[in-house]
Structure 1
Amino acid sequence: MPTLILVRHGRSTANTAGVLAGRTPGVALDERGTAQAAALPGRLAVLPLAAVVTSPLQRCRETLRPLLDARPDLVAHTEERINECDYGDWSGRKLAELADEQLMSVVQRHPSSAAFPGGESLRAMQARAVDAVRDWNARIGSGHGDDAAYVMCSHGDIIKALVADALGMHLDLFQRIHVDPCSVTAIRYTRLRPFLLRLGDTGDLASLAPRERTDGAEPAAHPATGTEADAEVGGGAGAP
């Protein structure tokens, strides 16, 4: 089955402002995020890509623009199921304020039972994202073969939830995973189980390129709360 190249969007204006953007419209990449996106085509140059799939949100589309400009043969397919988590009434609020909400401790320690007021549950978020990946794996495999690789640009909590699924981890453990803005996480899917090849990689990706066949036939403190044990809801802004 195909190799999934998960790209978290570049650093956004909401990330640097300490705001939980959610699906709020008009959230763009900041200056650093724009530079991260500009470097993405070079980082992925060694990989023959069969397709590009993106969340519908602006920050993901901006992250992919340099890649699509560099590879005019690729077209971005919008996939609603890898959209950012619907944080409901939490959307647009400062993370420092949300740290005082009683629900935050549930989000941190028992996320499988967390549902955002006016939004969705983290369990539902994971289920839709996993379903999207399964469908795209079948589509890419059918059209391009099991050695194909494809890019999916999404959001921090979505990527963490997909990694937890690939590793067979309960969703209650997914806050132990972290992915920086514009980092690459690679999962190779097989008939029996997935393999996590990269997690939050911001460096050289040459070793992810398909190998030639020979047989003819794979802790810092939370920036918003200052609490070392808390995960960054929404993914955070990455290293300073």
Structure 2
Amino acid sequence: MQLFLIRHGMTKGNLEKRYIGCSDEVLCQEGIRQLEEKRDAGIYREIPSDAVVWCSPKKRCIQTAQILFGKREIKIEDRLRECEFGDWEGKNYMDLRNDPRYQKWIDSGGTISFPNGEEIQAFKERSVQACREILRWEQKEKNYVFVVHGGTIMAILEQFGYPQKGYYDYQCSNGEGYICVAEQDENNSPILRVQRRLQ
């Protein structure tokens, strides 16, 4: 069984390096162009035509899946959405550089939660639980694609990825991601053996 993890294409907020979590942005024109170029260059060619496509409910993910997979059925899972960034939603470094709470977050290595946002651990747990349940529900299916967010990919691979790495070690650019071989341990939890970057 293979699992392909793909981060959505670029949005205006991504271009401006903003924290975009619960905001429901669409892809920008540059993001659409990049995805089409990557698709036409064949970087997604290893994804089997029978792979089951799961998607975050956010427009940027659904748009990405439609560009990459045409009219293939897309299944939506709400728990695969991005972390909610609270007071930092829609802001970037220039907006936040004088906020002492932001400096405290940077000093923590990004491990503390966002002010008035989602608890980091709660975000990770819902992402991980969604992945675990999807891979259990459809064990007869052989291959899966998750078109999701950067944070979602990092949360899933921090928990299930092999070799084991930290959360931020699994960052990836828009339209890119990872190819994994999905196995299950004795407790029916996923083991995702990372084969290579999808780029």
Q: TM-score range by the shorter chain?
A: 0.7 to 0.9
Question: Secondary structure of 2:10's match?
Answer: coil
- Correspondence 1:37-48 to 2 at 5 A: 37-38=35-36, 39-40=38-39, 42-48=42-48
The percent of aligned pairs where both chains have the same amino acid is: 24
Q: 2:171 aligns with which of 163, 174, 178?
A: 178
Corresponding residue number in structure 2 for 1:63: 64
Corresponding residue number in structure 1 for 2:181: 188
How many angstroms apart in 1 are the aligned matches of 2:180 and 2:174?
18
CA contact (8 A) 2:157 2:192 kept: no
Code of the residue aligned with 1:156 in structure 2: it is G
TM-score normalised to structure 2 length? 0.83
Give the Å deviation of 1:109.
3.3
Corresponding residue number in structure 2 for 1:52: 53
Corresponding residue number in structure 1 for 2:157: 163
How many angstroms apart in 2 are the aligned matches of 1:110 and 1:94?
17
Give the Å deviation of 1:153.
0.8
How many angstroms apart in 2 are the aligned matches of 1:137 and 1:174?
21
Question: Secondary structure of 2:180's match?
Answer: strand
Corresponding residue number in structure 1 for 2:137: 139
Code of the residue aligned with 1:91 in structure 2: it is E
Give the Å deviation of 1:34.
0.2
Code of the residue aligned with 1:154 in structure 2: it is V
TM-score normalised to structure 1 length? 0.70
Aligned alpha-carbon RMSD (Å):
2.2
Question: Secondary structure of 1:161's match?
Answer: helix
Question: Secondary structure of 2:113's match?
Answer: coil
Give the Å deviation of 1:5.
0.6
How many angstroms apart in 2 are the aligned matches of 1:163 and 1:57?
21
The alpha-carbon distance between structure 1 residues 60 and 181, as it changes in their structure 2 partners (threshold 3 A), is: same
Give the Å deviation of 1:137.
0.8
Give the Å deviation of 1:139.
2.1
How many angstroms apart in 2 are the aligned matches of 1:183 and 1:163?
14
Corresponding residue number in structure 2 for 1:149: 143
The alpha-carbon distance between structure 1 residues 68 and 108, as it changes in their structure 2 partners (threshold 3 A), is: farther
How many angstroms apart in 1 are the aligned matches of 2:106 and 2:161?
20
- Correspondence 1:63-102 to 2 at 5 A: 63-69=64-70, 72=71, 74-102=72-100
Deviations 1:130-169 (A, max 9, x none): 111111111232x32xxx1111011111111222112475
The alpha-carbon distance between structure 1 residues 58 and 35, as it changes in their structure 2 partners (threshold 3 A), is: same
Corresponding residue number in structure 1 for 2:6: 7
How many angstroms apart in 2 are the aligned matches of 1:118 and 1:126?
17
Aligned length: 189
CA contact (8 A) 2:4 2:47 kept: no
How many angstroms apart in 1 are the aligned matches of 2:182 and 2:106?
28
The alpha-carbon distance between structure 1 residues 110 and 138, as it changes in their structure 2 partners (threshold 3 A), is: same
Question: Secondary structure of 1:43's match?
Answer: coil
Q: Which moved more, 1:190-199 or 1:153-162?
A: 190-199
Corresponding residue number in structure 2 for 1:125: 123
Give the Å deviation of 1:62.
1.2
Corresponding residue number in structure 2 for 1:219: none
Could you tell me which runs of 5 or more consecutive residues in structure 2 were left unpaired when the two chains were aligned.
186-190
2:10 is the counterpart of 1:16: no
